[in-house]
Amino acid sequence: MTYAQGSDPKLPVGVIGLGVMGRRMLARLAEHPRLEAIAAWDPSAQAAAETRAQYPALVLCKDANAVIATSGLRCVYIASPPEVHLAHAHAGFDAGLAVFCEKPLTVDFAAGRAAIARIEREQRKAAVNFSLASSPGLAALCDAMTDGSIGSPQRAEIEVAFDTWPRSWQAAAGAWLAERAEGGFTREVISHFVFVLQRALGKARVDSSAPDYPADGRRAETALRSRLTAGGVPVEVEGRVGGDHPDHNRLTLYGSRGAIELHDWFGLRRRSGNGDWQALRSPQDNRQIGQRAQLDQLVALIEGRAHSLPGFAEALAVQETIEAMLRV
């Protein structure tokens, strides 16, 4: 048996899906003292071969069920296309495993609610991978709601912009990312900031929304403008693809005495009144802190301890907001 720091044993993890997210998770698991990826699968022979070359000790399985059946496994991480998230999750529950799933959890709300009911009924261990869930940015925004550092919240803005969609580094993830049925930047990126918004302020109501879709009826949105209300706070949401601008994202909460902003994923800054913005650590430091904390929380989930990872119910609440924003 492999041991980490002290006498705590490693917790074996299986990985379903070896696209961008799956391989990123493999790299993070390799650096964590308590977690260890031992088995993986992807339908792409090329992805499997590239993963085998990088991680020769990793067992490459014939299918997802073989990953889940791996002896000694404690957790399965699901990085497949959304259509099969819940099928893999239920297979993991059947095997008694903790399940850590990528978002969007599902666009099938009935199936999502059935999974949530099973988790509650059977006391299963399950969480969804919102990358900002353990970030210093979310913690700072939640603190700002209670410590008075920015005063009472007045309004919020979410803005994202992309040169192209999907982005070039997502090419291996599959065609679904570009399609209206399950993909698009609202589900993939804005959902992270809606999660933060709802964790800090409460469930959002969609007051109005105007997505722009290509005329072919198949491809995902190219622009979006929405107005939400969360915890009594009005929220403006804007997203777009194309144009002469660098890719960026931000969530800004304005208060009566200042503001706080999460930007470009792990960037974090605050200002008092109308003064200059002050960065709170570097984005690189915040990323490292947040990603390590997230896997520490995954360890807590696997071991049955209290944790701060979003469960399936919180993830489905985010998706309900997202799907309402995408509705024409």
Dig out the tokens for 307 from the structure.
């944790």
Per-residue pLDDT tens over the stretch 255-287: 999 999 999 999 999 999 989 999 999 999 999
Which H/E stretch holds residue 304? none
Query: What is the C-alpha separation between 70 and 177, in angstroms, rounded?
Result: 30
Which pLDDT band holds residue 246 (cuts at 50, 70, 90)? confident
Identify which of 161, 184, 150, 170 has the alpha carbon closest to the alpha carbon of residue 264. 161
Dig out the tokens for 17 from the structure.
């899906």
- CA atoms within 13 Å, Cβ hemisphere of 99: 30
Domains of the chain and CATH, by start: 136-282 (3.30.360.10)
Q: Percent helix, strand and coil across the chain, each rounded to 5?
A: 40, 25, 35
Cis amide linkage into residue 246, ω under 30° from 0: no
Per-residue pLDDT tens over the stretch 54-84: 999 999 999 999 999 999 999 999 999 999 9
Mean pLDDT of 285-297: 97
Per-residue pLDDT tens over the stretch 8-57: 899 999 999 999 999 999 999 999 999 999 999 999 999 999 999 999 99
Per-residue pLDDT tens over the stretch 109-161: 999 999 999 999 999 999 999 999 999 999 999 999 889 999 999 999 999 99
The pLDDT of residue 4 is above 60: no
Query: What is the C-alpha separation between 72 and 175, in angstroms, rounded?
Result: 34
Distances (CA, A) of 104 to 15, 27, 83, 101, 289: 17, 22, 10, 9, 24
At residue 213, what are phi and psi to the nearest 5 degrees?
-115, 150
Per-residue pLDDT tens over the stretch 171-197: 666 688 999 999 999 999 999 999 999
E-assigned strand segments in the chain:
11-16, 35-41, 59-60, 75-78, 98-102, 126-129, 153-162, 204-212, 223-230, 233-241, 248-255, 258-263, 267-272, 278-279
DSSP string, 198-264: HHHH--EEEEEEEEE--TTSSBPPSEEEEEEEETTEEEEEEEEE-SSS--EEEEEEEETTEEEEEET
